[in-house]
Structure 1
């Protein structure tokens, strides 16, 4: 009877150890899944930020191109105006 109690105690200890190991494995897996979800969320946020920055860059590039076109037009008009003024001044001399 004492021998059976000792074996039963050993079996219970082994079972407790196995359950503890199982709980640790479940906890580790849960943490890993949570970390993965966190990483996936961060990647999603980074992609959203990148898309927003790409849109802003496209808009800024459009504005820069438009300003460049306007600058060329203003420059052309200034040259025309200067030539006209020179022509008028040359005729007055």
Structure 2
């Protein structure tokens, strides 16, 4: 994963009407280890991605604190993140 991939994911989000909030202070913002929490929001759906300084994904959480919460650790969350951001309205 590179910064180019992060830009690609953010572009997919914006193309599909997601609001992208980098370094979301409400969700933890910049972590002491350098990771950055980015919030992707559309209607009642929220996805939080914790990006590493190298451009990788440390974790992805869809609908945090809800009954239908999905939490994925590590790079495997990247594919789910992309799939969720491409879901039709």
Task: Quickly name the TM-score band, shorter chain normalised.
Answer: under 0.3
For CA contacts below 8 A with separation 6 or more, give which structure has more relative contact order. 2
- The normalised TM-score by structure 1 is 0.18
Q: Which has the larger radius of gyration?
A: 1
More helix by share: 1
